[in-house]
Amino acid sequence: LETTIGYEQLAVDLTAILSQREPDAYVVQVMNLALLEDFDHLYRYADLLELERGIHAERLVGCYTEIMPGRPTIAEHRHPRDSV
């Protein structure tokens, strides 16, 4: 679980950096959506880590990323016709 949180933190960092450097506005929108998903996954894994082992994920990511609740899972899935 700790390794997964590390990978999600890496995904957040890389997606944010790539999004900032991307010249195509549409690709930036897609990356920003992916970034929301990465934050959501980071929060959920952090919540599970705290629930199962009593460890706060901030100890792993060093308060570099604020880990807070995101969207409800039902809102995560999009209709196939969505453009982003």
Residue 11: predicted pLDDT: 92
Residues of the chain short of pLDDT 50, as ranges, are: none
Domain ranges in the chain are 2-69
Q: What is the 3-state secondary structure (H, E, C) of 6-68?
A: HHHHHHHHHHHHHHHHCCCHHHHHHHHHHHHHHHHHHHHHHHHHHHHHCCCCHHHHCCCCCCC
Residue 44: predicted pLDDT: 87
Residue 17: predicted pLDDT: 95
Residue 82: predicted pLDDT: 62
